[in-house]
């Protein structure tokens, strides 16, 4: 695949005012109704009903709630399913994207005699109702385990937790029918108050955090064994989630052994190291909060949590925050293509144009033993005084149009049919948030009188990770 070097660095720096804002921003979401203040609820994306679904938790009243809420992306809605799990907290939720359900396991609560009851039941949410599943095999009852859906293997993975008499170091997998106890080739120590998320870009489940003890750190599960990957950030009761838009594991929150929330920053795992992200304004510190990624809004949502650093004891929270990039990277196709000897000349990309990364352009319908030109333009409205799109029939290219300003172009040899071209996007802060448009031109002598064909366009909104 030929490599292309994007050369708009000087142009961007000279044309656009520099932006000094950070790449990530927290935003407080204000509105009613919303769930009562709580910690240790479960929250996950609802692939059928949309948004995020929250269940249960520990509130300031007794008994614990058995309520179900939906975050729509802008507001909370209380739902009223026909059936529901019993009141509990310390349960865990994960989204099975292959079967389009949310999986819930375990938790605990007090009964009428103020005795602790631990659960080992499995429930699934289908977008409108909870259904209890009755597998042949059930893991032992527990709370404060960790749960994540492994998309590559089609199973929900659970590790650890406790029932206050046993601290578990076991790995279980739920396939939608039954639970299976896995025996990793590397033995693990117990974990409680840890968190897990599936890294879709790397195909592994990432686990981190937990009560302070010897095995605390960062671990990865590949379906066979847990691999230690070094230390994790400070604090326990933090939460992990996978940011699918930016393809990285995100850590937020946590506290010390006295349940005092630590003012810990956002940290990100790239498969090698944890990196702290500086953000100007952050939510109040917390632990045992709920955090999940909303793939429609493409932002991380945090709700509630707890902080015992101030009186009265057990300061539960009821605030909602979202975390996302200041400038989101998007790519969309526009305009039409015209045909040549190899068919319609088209360009496409499956990548997001984050500055500092590479975007792969997929060409189709390129002429054989010839050349193609990839045009880059900052405008889709006008070029050289002419409005865009500009029909090219008058110059012998019927059905073709110029879609982008010709600010820069790059020539490549073509062998016919499909090819790929790598476009490197250096990080230039001045270009953040601006739109860069691409169009392909093919040298195809037999296509028309002019001997050229023109592709559709791709509009790249340049974002910052």
Q: What is the pLDDT of residues 156-194, one digit of tens each?
A: 999 999 999 999 999 999 999 999 999 998 888 899 989
Helix, strand, or coil (residue 374): strand
Residue pair 368/355 in contact by the 8 Å Cβ criterion:
no
Give kind and range of the element (H or E) at residue 290: strand 290-294
pLDDT at 15: 55
Query: Which of 194, 92, 117, 202 minimizes the C-alpha distance to 152?
Result: 202
pLDDT at 19: 45
Task: Please count the other Cβ atoms lying within 10 Å of the Cβ belonging to residue 140.
Answer: 13
Cis bond leading into 95, ω under 30°? no
Beta strands in 295-352 (DSSP E): 299-303, 306-307, 315-316, 320-325, 330-334, 339-340, 343-344, 346-348
DSSP assignment, residue 261?
B
More confident residue, 214 or 409: 409
**Domain topology for 3-17+329-461:** Immunoglobulin-like (2.60.40)
pLDDT score of 8 more than 80: no
CA dist., res. 421 & res. 414, Å (int): 11
pLDDT at 23: 87
CA dist., res. 436 & res. 218, Å (int): 39
Sheet holding 52-55, edge to edge: 42-45, 52-55, 68-71, 76-79
Residue pair 310/284 in contact by the 8 Å Cβ criterion:
no
pLDDT at 12: 53
Task: Please count the other Cβ atoms lying within 10 Å of the Cβ belonging to residue 7.
Answer: 12
Q: What is the pLDDT of residues 244-280, one digit of tens each?
A: 999 999 999 998 888 888 887 899 999 999 999 989 8
- Kindly report the pTM of this predicted structure: 0.90
b/e sequence 237-269, b meaning 16+ C-beta within 10 Å: bbbbbbbbbbbbbbbbbbbbeebebbebebbbb
Radius of gyration, CA atoms only, the chain: 26
Helices (H) and strands (E) in the chain, counts: 1, 43
pLDDT score of 5 more than 90: no
pLDDT at 280: 86
Mean pLDDT to the nearest integer, 340-364: 96
Give kind and range of the element (H or E) at residue 386: strand 386-387
Residue pair 28/320 in contact by the 8 Å Cβ criterion:
yes
CA dist., res. 389 & res. 375, Å (int): 14
pLDDT at 263: 86
pLDDT at 265: 86
Helix, strand, or coil (residue 154): coil
Q: What is the pLDDT of residues 426-435, one digit of tens each?
A: 999 889 999 9
pLDDT score of 213 more than 70: no
Question: How high is the mean pLDDT of the chain?
Answer: 92
pLDDT at 133: 98
Domain 24-325: CATH architecture, name and number where available: 6 Propeller (2.120)
Phi and psi angles of residue 260, each rounded to the nearest 5 degrees, phi first? -90, 120
pLDDT at 112: 72
Confidence of residue 10 (pLDDT cuts 50, 70, 90): very low
Residue pair 219/227 in contact by the 8 Å Cβ criterion:
yes
Three-state DSSP string of 98-139:
CCCEEEEEEEEEECCCCCEEEEEEEEEECCCCEEEECCCCCC
CA dist., res. 212 & res. 210, Å (int): 6
The domain spans of the chain are 3-17+329-461, 24-325
Q: What is the pLDDT of residues 97-126, one digit of tens each?
A: 999 999 999 999 988 767 899 999 999 999
pLDDT score of 389 more than 50: yes
To the nearest whole percent, how much of the chain has pLDDT over 90?
A: 81
pLDDT at 11: 47
Q: Which residues contact 386 (CB under 8 A, 6 or more apart)?
A: none
pLDDT score of 234 more than 90: no
């Amino acid at each position: 695949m030929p490599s292309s070097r994007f050369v708009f660095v000087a142009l961007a720096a000279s044309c656009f005012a520099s932006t000094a804002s950070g790449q990530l921003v927290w935003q407080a979401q204000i509105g009613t109704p919303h769930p009562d203040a709580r910690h240790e609820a479960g929250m996950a994306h609802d692939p059928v009903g949309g948004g995020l679904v929250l269940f249960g938790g520990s509130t300031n009243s007794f008994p614990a709630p058995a309520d179900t809420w939906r975050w729509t992306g802008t507001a909370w809605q209380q739902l009223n399913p026909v059936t529901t799990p019993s009141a509990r907290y310390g349960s865990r939720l994960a989204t099975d994207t292959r079967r389009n359900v949310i999986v819930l396991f375990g938790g605990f609560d007090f009964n009428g005699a103020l005795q602790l009851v631990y659960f080992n039941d499995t429930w699934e949410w289908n977008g409108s109702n909870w259904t209890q599943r009755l597998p042949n095999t059930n893991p032992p009852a527990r709370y404060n385990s960790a749960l994540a859906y492994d998309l590559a293997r089609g199973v929900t993975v659970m590790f650890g937790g406790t029932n206050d008499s046993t601290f578990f170091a076991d790995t279980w997998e739920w396939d939608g029918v039954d639970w299976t106890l896995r025996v990793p080739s590397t033995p693990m120590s117990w974990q409680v108050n840890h968190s897990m998320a599936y890294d879709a870009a790397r195909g592994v489940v990432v686990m981190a955090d937990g009560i302070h003890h010897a095995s605390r750190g960062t671990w990865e599960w590949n379906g066979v064994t847990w691999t230690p990957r070094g230390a994790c950030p400070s604090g326990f009761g933090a939460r992990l989630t996978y940011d699918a838009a930016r393809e990285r594991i995100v850590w937020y929150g946590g506290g010390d052994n006295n349940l005092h929330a630590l003012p810990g920053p956002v940290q990100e795992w790239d498969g090698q190291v944890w990196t702290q992200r500086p953000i100007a304004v952050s939510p109040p510190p917390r632990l045992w909060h709920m955090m999940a990624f909303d793939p429609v809004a493409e932002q991380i949502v945090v709700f509630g949590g707890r902080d015992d650093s101030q009186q009265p004891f057990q300061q539960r929270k009821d605030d909602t925050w979202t975390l996302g990039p200041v400038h989101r990277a998007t790519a969309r196709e526009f305009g039409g293509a015209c045909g040549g000897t190899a068919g319609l000349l088209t360009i496409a990309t499956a990548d997001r144009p984050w500055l500092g990364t590479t975007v792969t352009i997929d060409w189709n319908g390129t002429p054989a033993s010839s050349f193609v030109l990839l045009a880059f333009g900052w405008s889709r409205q006008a070029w050289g005084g002419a409005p865009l799109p500009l029909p090219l029939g008058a110059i012998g290219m019927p059905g073709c149009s110029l879609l982008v300003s010709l600010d820069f172009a790059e020539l490549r040899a073509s062998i016919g049919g499909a090819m790929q071209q790598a476009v490197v996007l250096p990080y230039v802060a001045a270009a953040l948030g601006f739109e860069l448009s691409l169009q392909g031109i093919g040298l195809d002598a037999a296509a028309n009188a002019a001997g050229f064909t023109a592709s559709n366009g791709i509009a790249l909104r340049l974002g910052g990770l």
